[in-house]
């Protein structure tokens, strides 16, 4: 069966008929790319209409004809050009060469479905086909030695040089951490087929990409933006995100992919990498929300003004919603908008992006991780986000159809975190093995409302049943967590938890470990991240570690504070990155140190939030992670981790019933600071009342019969 990957094309009718042909002829194998690849030449980008990569047929280069008119000389010239340019690209890769011989057969063909009879214009050297004779011609193509099929696919996707590290590694010891990291980066250099499909497939409308941390969403979006820019350099394209430190990563990926595809620099006038909020001043301050207000003459709120007007809970949501409410008629300025980290945005921002897109296509691509907040509250469905037409029908509905570009893509495979690391992050994030509080039957902090989400993100049920009130065991598979991600090191090295007697002891340990990493392990400074989960205390919390590193002669920086907000790693100064949790999102490193992790064990009023910080921090690691802390909270986290290990990195728990989930949501609901302060005050009042009753300072009859009756009713209800 042929996997059909439909990119953007200027020949939509013949392209769709070609896709339909292979959708109904399941006897063929391989991958059909439509509108891809683009070959960089001395004359500029040269787009190929379509190619078929097949184990049995080789490489078939397909030129499309839309109408009935075809000039024989032009047809021959098109086939020669396509074949020569593609062969020149392949010859640059030693993996496909044996001496001077290209190991892949290339078969050119013109597909002209509107011409009913091609017998008078087709020849053996320059074949022209329609649906009637395409199958017969394909049967004459043959690739007897297809051992280089995977290499061919990787080269055509043009990903291998992009996904590798930021700069070349110089390793001397075969068993060093640097050598292991180099091997890992080489192994994950190629996108899998689903990711490659997500890059190339283009929807005239809204496309949603979902996946775990480390599944490649950011890379997919960056390469998708570069691909669309190469195909349509005249389009206005915007890439936006929540974490500002992603800007450099997006720019590097887009720049590299565009050069590989076209041999030309991107036109940054038409391809904008911009933050979501923005401010006056242009340049790096440019943002989508600010642009929306500016284009439509609306009142703009900066962060401080938005907090005063809409409250501290979600000022951006209030600002975006007011802009939408005040806008009577929208003006479109972009052909495509791609949104990363969509789970961090309010629905009003996605709706704003939609309104900034040109009709009729409204090409919006948004990617998000349903687990990033580890909450049962995911993004609303698109029918709710984007509203309805006047007749009540939804403006956006995502439908996947055979032979059509996929509108809803799920990336279930994780290419960053190994199975033990990812399972640990989930176990601690959800509180799978947390000791239940007094009076509670489970230690769960939070849970998905929809059971199928576990399977969509790569877990299989290995025992029990994923249903209300049942015991269940979940484990990751080789398909969703490739084994090579963990086989480079023993499990006890992949992930470690350590509890220290004091913060000073913890900080000294981290400084010494980083010194060893750089001097003995052949790791670079940009292979290391130190994360403090509490974003508000990071500067003070990491000060002593940085001081001790300086004494070792090692540079360090606080990401976004000592550097530009758009810069995370500072490899030019050979500097180790320290960060709070918010700036850590979207970034990754071989070695991750999480300090002061005891703050993530429990927190009054926002248990889900602090557990999410730990989950996010752990999943920044693409090789090794060290979770460090002090005190009883850290000891309790270590007990949970030991349970994860005892269960062989499987998640075994009692799946809560609907009633239990409701109770979980109530107990662990997030609160604003004002709500937490009020609840804490009332809790103190209740403790004082109980103490006064126990010590006889006041008596029950002093409370009054009506108050006693109401209190008894509440207590009876809660103990049922």
Domain 191-410 matches domain 419-663 at the CATH topology level: yes
**CA 186, CA 200: separation in Å to the nearest integer?**
22
Q: What span, in angstroms and rounded, lies between the C-alpha atoms of 384 and 397? A: 10
d(CA 496, CA 592): 11
Tokens representing 403? Answer: 């032979």
- Contact between 6 and 404 under an 8 Å Cβ cutoff? The reply is yes
Q: What is the pLDDT of residue 663?
A: 66
pLDDT confidence of residue 716: 67
How many C-beta atoms lie closer than 10 Å to residue 154's C-beta?
17
CA gyration radius, the chain: 29
Q: List Cβ neighbours of 481 (8 Å cut-off, separation of 6 or more).
A: 413, 414, 417, 418, 419, 422, 458
C-alpha–C-alpha distance, residues 267 and 264, integer Å: 9
Residue 288 pLDDT grade (very low, low, confident, very high; cuts 50, 70, 90) = very high
Phi and psi dihedrals of 3, rounded to 5?
-85, 120
Of residues 15, 36, 479, 458, the one with CA closest to residue 223: 36
What's the 3-state SS for 165-177?
CCCCCCCCCCCCH
Q: Check residue 539 and give its pLDDT.
A: 92
Task: Give CATH for domain 419-663.
Answer: 3.40.50.300
d(CA 413, CA 494): 19
Cα 200-206-210 angle, rounded to 5 deg: 70
Task: Answer yes or no: is pLDDT of 665 > 80.
Answer: no
Residue 48 corresponds to which tokens in the numbers above?
A: 């190929």
Supply the CATH classification number for the domain 191-410.
3.40.50.300
> How far is the C-alpha of 218 from the C-alpha of 21, rounded, in Å?
33
Q: For 471, phi and psi rounded to 5 degrees?
A: -80, 140
Amino acid 344: pLDDT: 84
Confidence of residue 159 (pLDDT cuts 50, 70, 90): low
Give dist(CA 527, CA 532) in Å, integer. Answer: 17
Closest C-alpha among 357, 418, 346, 450 to residue 588: 418
pLDDT for res 718: 45
All structural domains of the chain with their residue ranges: 2-157, 191-410, 419-663, 673-719
Query: Quick one: pLDDT band at residue 677, thresholds 50, 70, 90?
Result: low
pLDDT at 605: 62
Average pLDDT for residues 456-484, to the nearest whole number?
Answer: 91
Given a cut of 50, whether residue 669 has pLDDT beyond it is: no
Band the pLDDT of 536: cuts 50, 70, 90: confident
- The pLDDT tens digits of the residues spanning 387-444 come to 999 999 999 999 888 778 889 988 878 888 999 999 999 999 999 999 887 766 778 8
DSSP per-residue letters across 74-116: HHHHHHHHHHHHHHHHHHT-GGGEETTEESS-EEEEEE-TT-S
pLDDT at 201 over 60: yes
Cα angle for residues 398, 403, 407 (degrees, 5° grid): 20
* Burial class of 195 by CB neighbour count within 10 A (0 to 12, 13 to 18, 19+): buried
667 three-class SS? helix
30 vs 536 pLDDT, higher one: 30
Query: What pLDDT is stored for residue 112 in this prediction?
Result: 95
pLDDT at 160 over 90: no
Q: What is the pLDDT of residues 491-502, one digit of tens each?
A: 999 999 999 999
Quote the pLDDT of residue 337: 98
What pLDDT does 193 receive?
Answer: 64
Cα-Cα-Cα-Cα torsion 117, 119, 120, 125, nearest 10 degrees, comes to 130
What is the rounded CA–CA span in Å between residue 242 and residue 349? 11
* H or E stretch covering 254: helix 246-262
**Encoding tokens for residue 424?**
């640990």
pLDDT at residue 514 tops 90: yes
Per-residue confidence band for 709, with pLDDT thresholds at 50, 70 and 90? confident
Categorize the per-residue pLDDT at 589 as very low, low, confident or very high, splitting at 50, 70 and 90.
very high
Q: What is the pLDDT of residues 206-251, one digit of tens each?
A: 999 988 777 888 889 999 999 999 999 999 999 999 888 788 889 9
Average confidence (pLDDT) over 454-458: 83
- Fold for the domain defined by 2-157: Trna Endonuclease; Chain: A, domain 1 (3.40.1350)
pLDDT average, residue stretch 524-537: 93
Mean pLDDT of the region 663-671: 44
- Distances in Å between the Cα of 701 and the Cα atoms of 689, 694, 712 are 13, 14, 14
- List pLDDT tens digits, range 354-382: 999 999 999 999 998 765 553 445 578 89
Q: Assign residue 58 a region: left if phi > 0, alpha if psi is -120 to 50, beta otherwise? A: left
pLDDT in tens, 54-70: 999 999 999 999 988 88
Q: Is the pTM of this model over 0.85?
A: no
Q: Which two tokens stand for residue 248?
A: 């450099």
On average, the pLDDT of the chain sits at: 87
Spatial distance between the Cα atoms of 683 and 686, rounded to a whole number of angstroms: 5
């Amino acid at each position: 069966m042929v996997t059909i990957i439909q990119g953007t094309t200027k020949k939509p009718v013949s392209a769709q008929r070609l896709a339909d042909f292979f959708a109904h002829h399941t006897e063929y194998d391989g991958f059909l790319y439509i509108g891809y690849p683009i070959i960089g030449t001395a004359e500029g980008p040269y787009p190929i209409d379509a190619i078929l990569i097949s184990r049995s047929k080789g490489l078939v280069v397909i030129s499309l004809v839309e109408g009935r008119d075809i000039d024989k000389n032009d047809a021959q010239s098109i086939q020669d050009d396509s074949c020569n340019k593609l062969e020149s690209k392949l010859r640059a890769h030693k993996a496909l060469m044996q001496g001077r011989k290209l190991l892949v057969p290339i078969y050119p063909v013109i597909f002209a479905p509107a011409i009913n009879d091609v017998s008078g214009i087709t020849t053996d050297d320059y074949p022209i086909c329609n649906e009637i004779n395409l199958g017969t011609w394909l049967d004459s193509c043959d690739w007897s030695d297809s051992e280089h099929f995977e290499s061919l696919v990787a080269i055509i996707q043009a990903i291998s040089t992009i996904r590798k590290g930021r700069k070349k590694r110089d390793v001397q010891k075969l068993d060093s951490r640097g050598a292991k990291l180099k091997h890992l980066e080489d192994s994950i250099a190629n996108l899998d087929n689903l990711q490659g499909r997500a890059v190339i497939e283009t929807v005239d409308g809204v496309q949603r990409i979902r996946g775990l941390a480390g599944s490649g969403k950011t890379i997919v979006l960056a390469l998708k933006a570069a691909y669309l820019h190469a195909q349509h350099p005249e389009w206005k394209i915007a890439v936006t995100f929540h974490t500002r430190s992603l800007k450099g990563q997006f720019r590097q990926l887009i720049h590299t992919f565009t050069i590989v595809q076209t041999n030309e620099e991107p036109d940054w006038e038409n391809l904008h990498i911009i933050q979501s909020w923005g401010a006056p001043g242009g340049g790096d301050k440019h943002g989508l929300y600010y642009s929306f207000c500016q284009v439509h003459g609306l009142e703009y709120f900066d962060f401080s003004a938005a907090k005063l007007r809409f409250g501290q809970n979600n000022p951006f949501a209030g600002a975006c919603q007011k802009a939408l409410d005040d806008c009577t008629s929208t003006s479109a300025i972009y052909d495509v908008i791609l949104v990363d980290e969509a789970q961090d945005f309010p629905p009003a921002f996605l709706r704003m992006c939609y309104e900034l897109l040109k009709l009729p296509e409204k090409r919006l691509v948004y990617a998000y991780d349903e687990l990033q907040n580890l909450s049962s509250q995911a993004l609303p469905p698109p029918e709710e986000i984007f509203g309805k037409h006047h007749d009540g029908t939804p403006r956006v509905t995502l439908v996947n159809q055979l032979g059509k570009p996929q509108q809803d893509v799920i990336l279930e495979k994780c290419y960053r975190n190994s199975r033990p690391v990812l399972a640990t992050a989930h176990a601690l994030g959800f509180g799978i093995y947390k000791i239940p509080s007094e009076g509670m039957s489970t230690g769960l902090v939070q849970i998905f409302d929809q059971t199928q989400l576990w399977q969509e993100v790569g877990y299989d049920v290995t025992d029990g049943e994923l249903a209300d009130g049942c015991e269940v065991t979940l484990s990751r598979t080789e398909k969703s967590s490739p084994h090579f991600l963990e086989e480079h090191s023993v499990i006890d090295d992949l992930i470690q938890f350590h509890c220290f007697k004091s913060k000073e002891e913890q900080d000294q340990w981290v400084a010494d470990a980083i010194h060893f990493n750089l001097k003995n392990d052949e790791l670079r400074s940009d292979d290391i991240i130190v994360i403090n989960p509490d974003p508000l205390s990071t500067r003070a919390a990491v000060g002593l570690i940085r001081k001790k590193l300086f004494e070792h002669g090692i540079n360090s920086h606080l990401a976004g504070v000592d550097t530009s907000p758009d810069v995370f790693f500072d490899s030019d100064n050979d500097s180790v990155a320290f960060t709070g949790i918010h700036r850590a999102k979207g970034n990754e490193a071989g070695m991750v140190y999480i300090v002061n992790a005891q703050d993530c064990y429990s927190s009054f009023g926002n248990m889900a939030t602090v557990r999410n910080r730990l989950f996010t921090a752990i999943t920044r690691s693409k090789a090794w992670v060290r979770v460090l802390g002090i005190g009883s909270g850290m000891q309790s986290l270590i007990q949970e981790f030991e349970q994860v290990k005892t269960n062989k990195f499987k998640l075994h728990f009692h799946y809560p019933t609907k009633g239990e989930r409701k109770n979980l949501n109530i107990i662990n609901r997030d609160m604003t600071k004002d709500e937490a302060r009020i609840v804490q005050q009332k809790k103190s009042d209740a403790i004082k009342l109980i103490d006064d009753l126990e010590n006889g300072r006041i008596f029950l009859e002093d409370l009054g019969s009506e108050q006693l009756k109401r209190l008894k009713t509440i207590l009876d209800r809660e103990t049922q």
